[in-house]
Amino acid sequence: MQVPDIIIAIDGYSSTGKSSFAKIIAKEFSFLYLDSGALYRGVTLFAIENGFISDDCTIDVPGLDKALNDLDLHFGENGTYIGERCIETEIRSLAVAGKVSPIATVPEVRAFVDKKLREFGASKRVVMDGRDIGTTVFPNAELKIFMTADPMIRAQRRAAEMTAKGIEVDIQDVLKNLQERDYIDSHREASPLSQAEDAIVLDNSHMTMEDQLVWLKGIISERFGC
């Protein structure tokens, strides 16, 4: 399938499989994949390690904002990096997951991440996933998908992913973390998670990755005539 030079924005709830789907799309159509959540997670790890967020999630916003000026957060061969250090494993831990939503409410953090995403996504043929890609980061994206799925199914998927990595988890803790993040992500003041008016909803509760790809190809061929 010859897909034109477009930006594909994928938004939706936590653990709906946005990044897995985006990676498959990138591979299938030779698009660049950008994981915006990884940048929020990277800022969170940085904030934890440098004492800008406390155990009760109080954030030193002026301190963090100042430190962001020198934060070299970027994507590399094995995922997300701070300078030369690959942080891909650390940013997927529950310690980071538990603090990332409060960090993502900070407008200064959102401005920092948005700027990076717009730089990285300046060329077309990009698929990007997050919470506000189709509404704020790339409101002109040619194709916007909004992903959702049943919360328990999402928790089971996330728990299986963590177990496969050797991380012990309790399914109820994972479900609780997901629901808390859904709530904070949808209710924050700065660019909350919301469905763009022109986004197409994909509920993948009972769909395989293959089903989703077939669905997407149908949409692309209908919309772009390819």
Class of residue 145 by CB neighbours under 10 A (exposed 0-12, middle 13-18, buried 19+): buried
Q: With binding defined as CB under 6 A, does residue 36 bind ligand DC?
A: yes
Instruction: Give the tokens for residue 203.
Output: 């509920």
The residue (of 165 and 223) whose beta carbon lies closer to ligand DC is 165
The residue (of 150 and 214) whose beta carbon lies closer to ligand DC is 150
The residue (of 78 and 221) whose beta carbon lies closer to ligand DC is 78
User: In the set 75, 181, 204, 220, which binds ligand DC (CB under 6 A)?
Assistant: 181
d(CA 221, CA 164) in angstroms, rounded, equals: 36
Name which of residues 119 to 148 contact ligand DC (CB under 6 A).
130-133
**DSSP 8-state symbol, 59:** B
Report whether 107 contacts 12 (CB < 8 A). no
Stretch that binds ligand DC, among 49-57, 96-104, 194-202, 212-220 (CB under 6 A): 96-104
The residue (of 209 and 226) whose beta carbon lies closer to ligand DC is 209
Report whether 141 contacts 9 (CB < 8 A). yes
How far apart are CB 25 and ligand DC at their closest, in Å?
Answer: 16
The residue (of 6 and 154) whose beta carbon lies closer to ligand DC is 154
Stretch that binds ligand DC, among 33-41, 149-157, 195-203, 217-225 (CB under 6 A): 33-41
Q: Residues of 71-96 as b/e, b for ≥16 C-beta within 10 angstroms?
A: bebebeeeebbbeeeebeebbbeeeb
d(CA 214, CA 74) in angstroms, rounded, equals: 32
Name which of residues 49 to 88 contact ligand DC (CB under 6 A).
none
User: In the set 14, 16, 135, 204, which binds ligand DC (CB under 6 A)?
Assistant: 14
d(CA 94, CA 162) in angstroms, rounded, equals: 9
d(CA 60, CA 66) in angstroms, rounded, equals: 10
Q: Which residues bind ligand DC (CB under 6 A)?
A: 14, 36-37, 40-41, 100-101, 104, 130-133, 181, 185
